[in-house]
Structure 1
Amino acid sequence: MSIRIGISGWRYAPWRGNFYPKDLPQRGELAYAAGRLDSIEINGSFYSLQTPERYSAWREDTPARFVFSVKAPRYITHILRLRDTEQALANFFASGVLRLHAKLGPILWQLPPSLRYDAAQLDAFLRLLPRDSGQALALARRRDIARMRGRSALAIDRVRPLRHALEVRHESFCDPDFVALLRRHRVALVVADTAGRWPYLEDVTAGFVYVRLHGDAELYTSGYGGAALDRWAGRIRAWAQGREPGDARRLAPPAPRRVRRDVYCYFDNDAKVRAPVDAQALIARLHARR
């Protein structure tokens, strides 16, 4: 099993002089963070397509066993709202994501709060998602050539499995049929702690678990105290051991027990420089029990 604890993004001005040393050049921030955490969720890719050169640089600036998750473009999730996405998906996978090679972890698809559950629409979208880097490369070749000229990467080092995780923010997704749909597609339902703002679900729907901690008391702002971190450490251990927490909040029956599961957990409570502090504290708790 592999447990990855990290942060969502790494370039935040308030972190300088707090998490990052004051004299650390900005170009050294990723390497600094990667030396102290297990993983990082790339979130710049949510706002705009990144370039192959950036993905290559991020791969080179991190330790050999480091893993990135990549937040998929909001153009697909928030503008197109999962409809007519083939060209946008091709552009995304052509933009250099596959240059992360073995360091490419799950791809995160975060839906907007206004998007309701539509089984047919979601099923059609999930069918388009590539399940390995070979399929992703084939999709990337169907990019918008004019738009992506000079900013495409159309090669892979070898065929590797791809994982996908879905974060929902509308109450209509609180439906057992939704859980069954994700299980059919082997897409992870994100366990999202949002201070009660959006649905909190712990159904295991894939061979891995993806957790996003946005703040337990105040969204994007509040830190996690010792008791909260102890609770999350216990839940992560259960998932990693192929079990589920005894008090898991589910819509459907539990997933079949496995020998182990990979777990990815990211702190997204960055407003007051809590994310890296809380991530390191959770890592320390998990290491203490290994």
Structure 2
Amino acid sequence: MARVAEIRVGTSGWRYPPWRGAFYPPGLPQRRELEYLSRRVTSIEINGSFYALQRPDHYRAWAAQTPDGFVFAVKGPRFVTHLKQLRDVRVPVANFLASGVLALGPKLGPLLWQLPPRMRFDAQRLAAFLDLLPRTTAGAAALAVEHDERLEFRALVETDADRPLRHALEVRHESFRDPAVPELLRRHGVALVLADSAGTWPVFDEVTAGFVYVRLHGADELYASGYTDAALDSWAARVRGWRDGGRDVFVYFDNDAKVHAPRDATSLLRRLA
């Protein structure tokens, strides 16, 4: 029997003070917010990993708080994407992979690499980075062994099973409109993120992998505006089309500022039920 493609919808992160008492019930302890949200969406982006290396016990705790079948996407560190801008990043990527990502086990979904708006397309640099990325959890564990001394006493360099590992790339500079970009991503099986950002950054709408990765940053105002019923109907139709074409689909709402993200995510899931 052919495998049925999956749809995952959720939010970018879960720990937002404005959600407390608005989306999260009044009095819900902060430590139970992930547990609460993960019963209402089917995936969440871990974005704390973008700002700092996490610890294996953090990832283990997050996995334990979520239901069976739940999946996390994990955002790669800004040290790799924004500070180093993909230059000479073998050890920083190894540090990220050794920081506990593999502790998610079967709940580890795609790794997201978000490039800064100022970063222009450089074919040689991007190709070298894509060549570096492991395509399996066993490959990730092998690269994680190359971590530096900062992870010496808290590294996790083992995986409970060898599974495919997927990557998505979000670009924000118009120079990535180059036809060489989707060609390069297809060669490596990396998804080009379809990001809706209220016109702040260019939209790249091209399928380059066996899965689709969508980030919805706000319909009219970046991070702050929600999506209308008509807009959610339209996104639902697109998601079904990708799914019916045999591709897994991951959709994350990043319009968190006014509590739109969890509400839009649950509304989209209702349309897709």
The one of 62, 73, 89 aligned to 2:77: 73
Is 1:100 aligned with 2:86?
no
1:149 and 1:102 map into 2 onto residues whose CA distance is: 25
Cα distance per residue 1:195-242 (max 9 Å; x no partner)? 111111211000000000001111101000100000000010111111
Map residues 134-213 of structure 1 onto 2, 5 A cutoff.
Answer: 134-144=138-148, 146-213=149-216
Structure 1 residue 55 displacement after superposition: 0.2
Taking only the aligned residue pairs, the percentage that are identical comes to 62
SS of 1:69 mapped into structure 2: strand
The AA in structure 1 aligned to 2:253 is F
Opposite residue 286 of structure 1, the aligned amino acid is L
* SS of residue in 2 equivalent to 1:265: strand
Q: Which residue of 2 aligns with 1:48?
A: 52
Correspondent of 1:117 among 107, 116, 121: 121
The secondary structure found in structure 2 opposite 1:126 is helix
Alignment-derived partner of residue 265 in structure 1: 251
d(CA) in 2 for partners of 1:151, 1:215: 37
What is the CA–CA distance in structure 1 between the aligned matches of 2:212 and 2:58, rounded to whole Å? Answer: 27
Cα distance in 1 for partners of 2:15, 2:52 equals 16
Report the secondary structure of 1:263's partner residue.
strand
Aligned partner letter, 1:150 = F
CA distance in 2, matches of 1:218, 1:209: 24
Q: Work out whether 1:228 is the aligned partner of 2:231.
A: yes
Please give the TM-score of this superposition, normalised by the length of structure 1.
Answer: 0.92
Task: Specify the SS of the correspondent of 2:86.
Answer: coil
Query: What secondary structure sits across from 2:181 in the alignment?
Result: helix
Match of 1:278 among 237, 242, 264: 264
SS, match of residue 77 in structure 1: helix
Match of 1:235, SS state, is: helix
What are structure 2's unaligned runs of at least 5 residues? none
Give 1:150 shift: 2.1
Specify the code of the residue in structure 1 equivalent to 2:171.
Answer: V
After the TM superposition, which parts of structure 1 deviate over 3 Å for at least 4 consecutive aligned residues?
Answer: none
SS in 1 for 2:198: coil
Distance in 2 of aligned mates of 1:119 and 1:152: 32
Cα-to-partner distance string for 1:98-117 (whole Å, 9 max, x where unaligned): 01011000000000000000
User: Which residue number corresponds to residue 21 of structure 1?
Assistant: 25
Count of aligned pairs between the two proteins: 269
Give the letter aligned to residue 167 of structure 1. Answer: E
Q: Deviations over 1:240-260 (max 9, x none)?
A: 111xxxxxxxxxxxxxxxxx1
RMSD: 0.6
TM-score norm. by structure 2 comes to 0.98
Mapped partners of 2:75, 2:150: distance in 1: 21
Shift of 1:149: 2.3
CA distance in 1, matches of 2:51, 2:126: 22
One-letter code aligned to 1:238: G
CA distance in 2, matches of 1:181, 1:154: 29
Runs of at least 5 residues in structure 1 that lack an aligned partner in the other structure: 243-259
Q: SS state of the match for residue 270, structure 1?
A: coil
Give the superposition deviation at 1:62. 0.3
C-alpha deviation, 1:175, in angstroms? 1.3
